[in-house]
Amino acid sequence: MRPRFNFMWFWAVVAIVIISYSMFGSSEERPIEGDWNMVDELVEGGYVERIEVMDREKASIYIHAEAIDSLAQDERFKRMPKTGVQVVFNTGGDVQYFAERIAAAEAKAAELAAESGTDVEAVVVKYNRTEQGWVDYLFEFLPWILIIVVWIFIMRSMTRSAGGGGGGIMNVGKARAQMSDRNSKERITFKDVAGLEEAKVEIMEIVDFLKHADKYKALGAKIPKGALLAGPPGTGKTLLAKAVAGEANVPFLSISGSDFVEMFVGVGASRVRDLFEQAKKVAPCIVFIDEIDAIGRARGKNSGFSGNDERENTLNQLLTEMDGFQTNAGVIVLAATNRVDILDKALMRAGRFDRQIEVGLPDVKERKAIFDVHLRKLKLDSKLDREFLAKQTPGFAGADIANVCNEAALIAARHGKDCVTEADFLAAIDRIVGGLERRNMPMTDKERHATAIHEIGHATVMWRLKHCDPVLKITIIPRGRSLGATWYLPEERVNYNIDHFVHKMAGLVAGRVAEQQLLGITSTGALNDLERTSKMAYSMVAYYGMSPKVGNVSFFDAQGQRDMFTKPFSERTAELIDEEVRRLVDEAVAMAREIVEAERENIERLAGVLIQKETIFSEDIEEVLGKSAQQIEKEMLEATTAVDATDEGKADGGVTYVIEPSADTTNE
């Protein structure tokens, strides 16, 4: 590899040249250093031809050429150069004294000469000042130059490492907003955003405000300043904003919340100012701030201790820019976040983000539309049922669906197929939810049996309780960190009551219960189930006010601002909460136990099938357990809503368990 040129080498060479010049530069013979005695002696002896005094201090003495050899007899003058300056001498800066002393010495020389009857020439004395050459200047300023170069070098690398990108130290306070190019080939339009119909309408209305502001102003309406896109990760907030950029015929500046954050104090605020200045120059325009929670977090009361002053300054600047004294007419701010609960209230008030647009998880219809968008680019099996795929992916966000499509194509390619089939999609979904298959994991038969009992325990209890989610399939192929899994289709509902919670909890603890009842073992495999059950019970009691003993109070902290050490309830309430959580979990365990006891044989039978097949589906379960409680419930509902509704709707099949509201199940 060719070594890369590094500027440090250049500076090293310069330094070496300068140092060696100063050390060995004048390799010719040097003049000898003299003192007053020597000077007096030379002048009085009539040896001196001239003296040049440089800058009042440095005197260079030139000896008569014919006297040099005779002087060299003397040991002190032996090393004296034959040409140029022979002796140098420091006058001490007092030129007058110097002149007087030389004059005195000359007088003495004249006297001596008169005595011996010879002549003596007068000494020529010249006073000069040094003209500084470039080398001298270089020597004088070199340390400063070096310091400045090193300083710039450090600052540049600091800016770069702080994610500064281009621009250097002088541009640290500038906002690096990107102006989107409407003519780009990869332009995203609303066609690329599936579903989200309401959000699209709202957001297009905002674009319309900008484009036809006069229409609204004529009626006295004020143009909104901003809209906040809020929703879980991967639901398409950024995509929606990009589509606005593609569709709107106004400039679109986008920046991420974290771009305001820098290690230097005051940079965040300055970048906010700069962003709005840029925006005002091109107004009417849209500014999009992604992940606004990076700067918009609620300001704390005791910010002095939290050390987040810089973030707060940035937020304050944003608040001022959005609705301060300086109006930003013609600039609409769109922002996206998935933590709307932690945003500062001042940011959310009308006049800043007037509108909040919810971008939620897609429902089954929207998921199908998202599949349609992402399947466009794939080579698909003609029999592929998109509705089926949408049904198999409840709770998936748009980003997850995009991931499923890509993963399915990768799986198909790995198996050498020429198109992507349904099986590839199912494998992709399994992989995304459960992790990588680990078929080679060493497991004994006993362990496999215990896993099967555990999973069938879950499935059976869920099959029998009407508020549990419908079981889809069970597998004992280890994936990721789990040894087996029961797959179910989560119901798409937003409101839950106590029965829903207790049934779900019973379904969760059923694995542990089945192991205990049928095998007499208590294993670590239930960790995740127990964790989820306990959290569910805690949220029922402490958040949703679902415990009669604790009452209709909620200790939920939506803002996440409560510190870890103070509890908003007394010790007595804490004990009550513990007690109630325990009661609810015990109730769920008792419910699961009852079902497991009743279905002992069926569970054993199903476990046998599962061990043999490794994966079984709802049809296999139905063969053994009959119709599921959810199916019975559905049929009953259909029957009662039918015009000729009779009581016949109560189909045969399994038993449906309900909780009696007053039931205070004791722990066995």
By CB under 6 A, what part of segment 174-203 binds ligand ATP? 193-196
Q: Which of 34, 251, 398, 457 binds ligand ATP (CB under 6 A)?
A: 398
Number of residues this chain uses to bind ligand ATP (CB under 6 A): 18
**Position of tokens 């992604």?**
290
DSSP state of 353: S
What is the rounded CA–CA span in Å between residue 532 and residue 635?
A: 30
Beta carbons of 471 and 618 less than 8 angstroms apart: yes
The answer to whether 596 and 625 have CB atoms below 8 angstroms apart is no
- 3-state SS, 276-290, equals HHHHHHHCCEEEEEE
Sign, CA dihedral 176-177-183-185, equals positive
**Residue 460 binds ligand ATP (CB under 6 A):** no
Of 44, 247, 455, 515, which residue is the catalytic one?
455
Nearer to ligand ATP, 51 or 243 (CB): 243
Is 334 an interacting residue with respect to ligand ATP (CB under 6 A)? no
Q: Which of 47, 206, 227, 237 binds ligand ATP (CB under 6 A)?
A: 237
Work out whether 238 is an interface residue with ligand ATP (CB under 6 A): yes
- Please check whether residue 614 is in contact with residue 607, taking contact to mean a CB–CB distance below 8 angstroms: no
Assess 257 for contact with ligand ATP (CB under 6 A).
no
Q: Which of 39, 243, 285, 373 binds ligand ATP (CB under 6 A)?
A: 373
Please report whether residue 233 would count as binding ligand ATP according to CB under 6 A. Answer: yes
**Is there a contact between 213 and 330 (Cβ–Cβ < 8 Å)?**
yes
Residue 256 CB, nearest distance to ligand ATP (Å)? 9
Q: Is 39 in the site for ligand ATP (CB under 6 A)?
A: no
From the list 1-9, 39-47, 395-403, 631-639, the region that binds ligand ATP by CB under 6 A is 395-403
Binding test (CB under 6 A) with ligand ATP, winner from 42, 239, 461, 518 = 239
Total residue count of the chain as it appears in this document: 668
| The three-state (H, E, C) secondary structure of 138-164, written as one string | HHHHHHHHHHHHHHHHHHHHHHHHCCC
Task: For residue 477, give the nearest of 608, 605, 616 by alpha carbon.
Answer: 616
Q: Which residue has the tokens 């079984």?
A: 616
Using Cβ positions, the residue closest to ligand ATP within the complex turns out to be 398
Residue 44 or 366 with smaller CB distance to ligand ATP = 366
Residue 455 falls in the annotated catalytic set: yes
Q: How far is the CB of 575 from ligand ATP (least distance, A)?
A: 40
Of 35 and 372, the one with the shorter C-beta distance to ligand ATP is 372
Q: Which is nearer to ligand ATP, 194 or 409 (CB)?
A: 194
Contact 656/633 with Cβ under 8 angstroms?
yes
Half-sphere exposure of 301 (CA within 13 A, CB side): 3
Q: What mask of x and - would describe binding to ligand ATP in positions 343 to 372, judged by CB under 6 A?
A: ---------------------------x--
Q: Which is nearer to ligand ATP, 290 or 455 (CB)?
A: 290
Q: What CA–CA distances, in Å, run from 527 to 185, 447, 571, 580?
A: 51, 16, 28, 21
Question: Least CB distance from residue 408 to ligand ATP, whole Å?
Answer: 15
Q: Which of 308, 316, 320, 338 binds ligand ATP (CB under 6 A)?
A: 338
Cβ-proximal residues to 479 (8 Å cutoff; 6+ apart), any chain? 430, 431, 434, 435, 436, 437, 438, 485
8 A C-beta contact, residue 197 and residue 363: no
For binding to ligand ATP (CB under 6 A), which residues are involved? 193-196, 233-239, 336, 338, 370, 373, 398-399, 402
Annotated catalytic sites, by residue?
A: 455
